[in-house]
Structure 1
Amino acid sequence: MFDRRTVLAGLAGLGLSPLGARAQGQGWQSRYPELVLAVIPAENASGVTERYAPFVDYLARTLGTKVTLRIANDYAAVIEGQRAGQIHLAYYGPASYVRARTVTNGVVEPFVTTINSDGSIGYYSVLYVRADNPATRLEDLRGKNLCLVDPNSTSGNNVPRFAMNKLGIANPDQFFSRVVYAGSHENAVSAVQQGTCDAAFNWWNSETDSNLTRMANKNMVRADDFKIIFKSDLIAGSPYAYINTLPEEARAAILKAFMDAPTADKAAFDRLSDGKDRGFHAVTHRDYETIVELQRFVDQMRRARS
């Protein structure tokens, strides 16, 4: 696990960072004997490791260089890691990607997102409450405790705040008794289960593929103990992004490895989503223009409150 302090403290020891490496022989692999892939904290560290380990092994074999998985304590750590050049590849939510793109002045670049089981691209933000909660809509939760995920989470903060604003809840801190950041999607759901929060926003692809169903598959919760009382419009798919200071041939090889994964190593690919995704779809920054506008809204809202 690492956080922002770890990222910054590690800068002094960087050897072959993409911002300072020099060619050492032929082929991009000689300049990058290790690529670091980081993942935002959607679930606990052991869950991320189990989910990604086969895919990381596949990438290492295919790319011909070591690939190391890093699991962040928060979204900002991944963003700072890419800005510092310590993280070459990262899995983001759309809003955290846009934030990374902004703070690195365009160095972070999306290259693929996943295709859902029904062929769609994208996902939703939903609001969970316990099944026995009498609330049937978001507006019924006045005076209750709300769990968000992280300030840089799309489905766990930015889309919810935009949606609440449209519903007339311009200041959630006044509408709810308490608004807290749980730190991860799993933590947010667990808080509802334990009664710490009355409701929590989270990501949702379909009835059979969501953070809740994945937690249920790991016997962390029972899916039937929860119900959804709000669902957003479709959000752009969560992207994998690399730093574009990597050599062009490296970026091309990474893109090809991802696109080939569903057939080249189906077991490793299926493990990422419990077999729910069809494949990868190539994306560019233009696919996230609506998220850029969403980020501006959230930033303006933060400035207005400060």
Structure 2
Amino acid sequence: MLTRRTLMIGSALALTASAARAQDWKSKYPELVFAVVPAENASGTVDRWQPFVDYLSKELGTKVTLRVANDYAAVIEGQRAGNIHIAYYGPASFARARIVGVKTDAFAIDVNGDGSKGYYSVFYVLAKSPYQKIEELKGKAMAFVDPNSTSGNSMPRFVLDRMGIDPDQFFSKTVFAGSHENAVLALAQGTVDVAANWWNAPDDSNLTRMLNKGMLKNADGSPMTKDDFRIILKSDIIINSPYAYLSDLPHDLKAAIAKAFLEAATKDKADYDRLSDGKNRPWQPVANADYDKTIELVKFVDELRKKKS
């Protein structure tokens, strides 16, 4: 027969068991590593992310260390080795991780200010250039971002292939800039004639964030504006970037990580807003299956590479 006393005892036992499990994973994981790939320079990435990581440490009750990875491959290999417990992936790099067998699970996704969960790959040229469409850039120099970047490589190559364009043959030179910022800088400085990048909306893109920080200057030292750049091609929508934790982390730890992320916009609003310059809505749950189409895209790009080898 259930009584108030037995219910109270049961609740107390459940709380004790839960606390014991938490203490168990904290002894096994005295430190968690959270890795991100810089879309900007490394110091800017630390400034943007460290306050949130401090919040995460407080919520989990264990130390969380921010790691700014050199590139997406480093994040993939870090999770494969078990050295990175939580990672902020690009869609293509997460798909790549799943393809190569990394045991990682997506749990949260970026949400745009309008509520959508996608973004675009765009091709930028300088507004002062004569180029109005991609076909006019034959024999010119093209900047991609990173081999495992969705908007900076996989989607641009997919879009160009649909147009019958092989970038390595069509352009006189193709380079991997290493980051989205570097690709825009290469275009602004005249090193390349066209650059791939990510774009959410007219007032929310890597370009607008760089402009807001005063990173782009004209030859005379005056600040550049959005009017100094032109988009000549935009892709179909790409699902937003996921946050993923190692699949074999304890269930209670994974639940605590997800809870901390999903509550961040309320509990740590100032630091959450810093991550997107106040553009994004709160993170929402996401699943591995939501990236199945991205896996197809990455496999398509892999097939293109095989044909050329």
Alignment-derived partner of residue 55 in structure 2: 58
Alignment-derived partner of residue 192 in structure 2: 197
1:208 aligns with 2:203: yes
Distance apart, 1:24 and its partner CA: 10
Q: Match for 1:101 among 82, 98, 112?
A: 98
Cα distance in structure 2, aligned partners of 1:57 and 1:120? 28
Alignment-derived partner of residue 118 in structure 2: 122
Distance apart, 1:102 and its partner CA: 2.1
Q: Which has the larger radius of gyration?
A: 2
Distance apart, 1:40 and its partner CA: 1.6
Cα distance in structure 1, aligned partners of 2:137 and 2:195? 11
Q: Aligned pairs, how many?
A: 282
Alignment-derived partner of residue 161 in structure 1: 157
Given that 1:36 and 1:70 are in contact with CA atoms closer than 8 Å, whether structure 2 keeps it comes out as yes
Q: Give the root-mean-square deviation of aligned CA atoms.
A: 1.4
Secondary structure of the 2:230 match is strand
Q: 1:24 to 1:293 in 2, by over 3 A?
A: closer
Given that 1:125 and 1:155 are in contact with CA atoms closer than 8 Å, whether structure 2 keeps it comes out as yes
Cα distance in structure 2, aligned partners of 1:241 and 1:287? 13
1:77 aligns with 2:77: no
Letter in 1 for 2:256: A
Cα distance in structure 1, aligned partners of 2:186 and 2:112? 27
Q: Between the two proteins, what is the percent identity of the paired residues?
A: 61
Q: Deviations over 1:111-138 (max 9, x none)?
A: 1111101111111001111111111111
Distance apart, 1:281 and its partner CA: 1.3
Alignment-derived partner of residue 27 in structure 2: 30
Given that 1:110 and 1:283 are in contact with CA atoms closer than 8 Å, whether structure 2 keeps it comes out as yes
Cα distance in structure 1, aligned partners of 2:22 and 2:215? 49
Given that 1:24 and 1:31 are in contact with CA atoms closer than 8 Å, whether structure 2 keeps it comes out as no
Cα distance in structure 2, aligned partners of 1:41 and 1:178? 24
Point out where structure 1 has 5 or more consecutive residues left out of the alignment.
Answer: 1-22
| TM-score, length-scaled by structure 1 | 0.90
Distance apart, 1:94 and its partner CA: 0.4
| TM-score, length-scaled by structure 2 | 0.89
1:238 aligns with 2:241: yes
Cα distance in structure 2, aligned partners of 1:296 and 1:102? 9
Q: Deviations over 1:160-218 (max 9, x none)?
A: 0000000110x211100101100000000000001001010001111111100111111
Q: Match for 1:143 among 92, 117, 139?
A: 139
Alignment-derived partner of residue 12 in structure 1: none
Distance apart, 1:43 and its partner CA: 1.3
